[in-house]
Chain A
Amino acid sequence: MTTTLWDTNGGDIMKALSAERRAGGAVASGLAVTFVTIVDEKNIGEAERAATVAAQAHPCRLLMVIRRQIETTDRLDAEVQVGGRLGPIEAVVMRMYGRLTLHAESVVLPLLAPDAPVVTWWHGVPPDRIATDPLGVLADRRVTDCALAPDPKAALHTRAEDFAPGDTDLAWTRATPWRSLLASAFDATSAGARSAGVAAEEGNPTAALLAGWLTARLGVPTEVAVSSGPGITEVEVALVEDDEECTLRVSRPDGRVATLSRTGHPDRELPLLRRDLGDLLAEELRRLEVDEVYGEALAQSTGIADLGDRSPKRNHIWRDPTVAQVAG
């Protein structure tokens, strides 16, 4: 089920993978997607658990790349698994050392499942410019997570500046249950919105994106207030219905159960759980087309316009961190 290769090369990984596939019989056929994960050594357990959950819904070839220190001898260690502890997937976990870390694509490219879409996910701080990471350039869809950045709001801004259609962020994925609930609340009213507000923990990027989405869709300004969390705690929309003012409020103080209240209607309680990383990834893998709505929300929340008009294709920009350090 598992083959471990020390100080190896891409060719041997390929051989080990096809040997594992044959030995596993029909364990993993019909791959729909290749899932490239870039992760730090300390987060590898978390990333593996999440990928396992996501793989339940979308069996994929998981290529996990761990870039170790650059100032050492070039070396590649790999672990090949088919249908093992990571669920119904084929997985290759690769640790790269030395200058190889800058050329990770030379190992990853031949391992991509033929003609299947590629999703690259940075579980950690992504590069400021995705074009400098060849593993981002070769992907059809790129998933970042602003919430992991030291300054999430600045990270969101960076993402907008660097945006290309096909980018998406888990901070946006976390907004889906809120958006779904708000949209269904709006199904039952014909009222127009006057203003909106979101309350969340300080610097919560999901709140910023949710506010951006509300502004983009409702055409009214949306304030973001700070609360003690966890995550987003309240969304309020002021409405006008038949010249009468009323409000629509969804509050979730405990991160589990939301109360939906609307003027003139009884309060309703609904489960609104904070989802774990695996569920978020499963949602990301479900649809692989460009998420235009995210582009609009991101543009609105950062004030950088026309993100959707950019080219979806990036060209690799060579950047050598060791040279930059000398220059800096």
Chain B
Amino acid sequence: MTTSNPLRDPRDRRLPRIPDPCALVVFGVTGDLARKKLIPAVYDLGNRGLLPPGFVLLGFARRDWGDGDFEQLAKTAAKEHSRTEFRDDVWRRIADSVRFVPGSFDDDNAFDQLDSTLVELESSHGIAGNAAFYLSIPPAAFPQVLKQLDRTRMAANEERGGWRRVVVEKPFGHDLASSRDLNQLVDSVFTPNDVFRIDHYLGKETVQNLLALRFANTLFEPVWNSNYVDSVQITMAEDVGIEGRAAFYDSAGAARDVLQNHLLQLLALTAMEEPVSFDSESLRIEKRKVLRAISIPENKAAFTVRGQYEQGWLAGERVRGYLDEEGIPPQSRTESYAAVRLGVETRRWAGVPFYLRTGKRLPRRVTEIAVVFKRAPHLPFAKTDTAELGHNQLVVRVQPDEGITLRFGSKVPGSAMEVREVSMDFLYGASFTESSPEAYERLLLDVLVGDRTLFPDHNEVEASWQVIDPLEEFWATTTPERYRAGEWGPRAADDMLALEGRTWRRP
């Protein structure tokens, strides 16, 4: 549609991408995600002038509410959590287009009403049949809502004279079989191209910058292979505990919650070959190739580690252990920490271990990708001169302090030759500060514009489960190691790297 617009010109870089007139329908609008991320993101988009002239935010939840009550909730949410300054002027325009439909997911009438509301909005707000359905609900409720959307034909593009899209949050199933079922269901209700699976890590500026770093520069790609790279460490650490998600978390664990999606996606972006172009299809093809080439350790007892935190001290406060958390059964064997050594069986990466780890109640919240290079094959210095010199490293800091660090050896000033490691920092905040939008803001805009580049498709999700399933199978009979809250995971994880003469980087 945009190609025929005479006012749009690819050279005109000032004009932002603005979606077609549309409705954003949020299921589970009273939940944490909707209040803390989605609604603020909608406000931020509005404030930046990125919402189309015809835009409706439609909430659906089991509350006895009118439009006004929902507007009040949305306003509070936007005020508290929006990234940009809250302006009443902007909110009033959005408030005009806030609607609420009360009902539960098994209530046929409520969905019929939702459908008729959307039809009404077509003429009153000019949304032309375009709608995105955001399922911000527990995975158990997915099938019910999808079936309702199917029954009312709300998901059918052609019949509605516009696009109909669906946004799904992780977890995408809990193993390969269940994710296949879910994918089949959602892909059949909507068409596969209209399904947007959100992995909010991919909306982060640094993750996209990883692609720019690798493929827009000549400097890094020549050494981005097993000739120069010793190992890769991908870490996602959280300082928080399970924070009221006990029921879900205890049934999933760290591997399903984080490893399966965020860490494997980061691995794929780090290890993939150059895509032929930057469109979503080419990118997905390359990511899929990497995910399929992942090899799982033969010796799972040595090269996979699970952990569970015990009580300890974190940031100056005493915190309770995993088993003492509210809602966790005292004999639970679910892991709150997982580390694994994976391989990528391609010519580029053969023999390079990829160490992935994630955990809760670790000393600080940090996500990073560290590419550790081999040591120089020959050092013309005396051994004592380079005693302090480790491996060169390139670290992509995903959060916080988004940026890139390069660690290399440098001479210590003085008359003796002594080489020590120094860091060279590129801080996103320092070169381009506030222009970085929130991940959800970016991804929501992508959904409404219809850009699928940053969304994994069902093939990637299934390939990821193929990595996780054998691990879960092995872990089913084991008990997680213990680690104190506030330390960097169980000792077994250190032993795992020590087996191959390596150590974890302290992020």
> Cα distance A273–B48 when bound, in Å?
11
> Cα distance A302–B365 when bound, in Å?
56
Q: Closest chain A residue to B96 by CB distance?
A: A269
Chain B residues with CB under 8 Å of A286's CB are: 435
Interface size class, chain B: 35 or more
Whether B427 contacts A179 by the Cβ 8 Å rule is no
B16 at the interface (CB under 8 A from A): yes
- What 0/1 pattern do residues 448 to 471 of B give for CB contact below 8 A with A? 000000000000000000000000
Interface size class, chain A: 35 or more
Whether A187 contacts B430 by the Cβ 8 Å rule is no
Whether B434 contacts A182 by the Cβ 8 Å rule is no
A77 to chain B, nearest CB (A): 29
Chain B residues with CB under 8 Å of A257's CB are: 89, 93
Chain B residues with CB under 8 Å of A26's CB are: 425, 427, 430
> Cα distance A270–B8 when bound, in Å?
20
Given contacts A57-B432, A176-B14, A183-B8, A270 and B426 within 8 Å (CB-CB): no
A108 at the interface (CB under 8 A from B): no
Chain A residues with CB under 8 Å of B96's CB are: 269
- What 0/1 pattern do residues 2 to 38 of B give for CB contact below 8 A with A? 1011111101111110101100000000000000000
Whether B6 contacts A217 by the Cβ 8 Å rule is yes
Given contacts A29-B430, A273-B89, A268 and B126 within 8 Å (CB-CB): yes
Whether A293 contacts B11 by the Cβ 8 Å rule is yes
> Cα distance A265–B124 when bound, in Å?
8
Whether A260 contacts B53 by the Cβ 8 Å rule is yes
Chain B residues with CB under 8 Å of A187's CB are: 1-2, 5, 8, 18, 20, 52
B384 at the interface (CB under 8 A from A): no
B54 at the interface (CB under 8 A from A): yes
- What 0/1 pattern do residues 416 to 443 of B give for CB contact below 8 A with A? 0000000001110011111100000000
Whether A56 contacts B434 by the Cβ 8 Å rule is yes
A58, A193, A217, A219: the one contacting B432 at CB < 8 Å is A58
Whether B430 contacts A28 by the Cβ 8 Å rule is yes
Whether A283 contacts B93 by the Cβ 8 Å rule is no
A297 to chain B, nearest CB (A): 10
Whether A293 contacts B6 by the Cβ 8 Å rule is no
In terms of DSSP, what is the predominant structure of the interface of chain B?
A: loop
- What 0/1 pattern do residues 393 to 431 of B give for CB contact below 8 A with A? 000000000000000000000000000000001110011
B16 to chain A, nearest CB (A): 6
Q: Closest chain B residue to A256 by CB distance?
A: B89
B350 at the interface (CB under 8 A from A): no
A226 to chain B, nearest CB (A): 24
Chain A residues with CB under 8 Å of B435's CB are: 57-58, 282, 286
B470 to chain A, nearest CB (A): 43
Whether B7 contacts A268 by the Cβ 8 Å rule is no
> Cα distance A189–B372 when bound, in Å?
53
Chain B residues with CB under 8 Å of A183's CB are: 5, 7-8, 15, 18
Whether A181 contacts B53 by the Cβ 8 Å rule is yes
A41 at the interface (CB under 8 A from B): no
Chain A residues with CB under 8 Å of B124's CB are: 266
A59 at the interface (CB under 8 A from B): yes
> Cα distance A256–B15 when bound, in Å?
20
Whether B16 contacts A266 by the Cβ 8 Å rule is no
Chain B residues with CB under 8 Å of A325's CB are: none
B343 to chain A, nearest CB (A): 35
Within 8 A of B (CB), among A141-187: 173, 176-177, 179-187
Within 8 A of B (CB), among A281-301: 282-283, 286-287, 289, 291-293
- What 0/1 pattern do residues 44 to 81 of A give for CB contact below 8 A with B? 00000000000011110000000000000000000000
B210 to chain A, nearest CB (A): 17
Q: Closest chain B residue to A185 by CB distance?
A: B53
Chain A residues with CB under 8 Å of B218's CB are: none
A217, A266, A269, A291: the one contacting B7 at CB < 8 Å is A217
Whether A184 contacts B52 by the Cβ 8 Å rule is yes
B49 at the interface (CB under 8 A from A): yes
Given contacts A30-B427, A30-B430, A58-B432, A271 and B89 within 8 Å (CB-CB): yes
Seen from chain B, the residues whose Cβ lies within 8 Å of a Cβ on chain A are 1-2, 4-9, 11-16, 18, 20-21, 46-47, 49, 52-54, 87, 89-90, 93, 96, 123-126, 128, 425-427, 430-435
Q: Name 5 extra pairs, CB < 8 A, besides A183-B7, A268-B54, A271-B49.
A: A31-B431, A57-B435, A59-B431, A179-B12, A180-B49
Give 14 pairs: A residue, B residue, CB < 8 Å, sorted on A.
A57-B433, A180-B15, A182-B7, A183-B15, A188-B128, A217-B6, A260-B53, A266-B124, A266-B125, A266-B126, A269-B93, A286-B435, A287-B13, A291-B14
Q: Which 8 A-B pairs have the closest CB atoms?
A: A30-B431, A184-B18, A183-B7, A30-B430, A293-B12, A268-B53, A32-B431, A186-B5
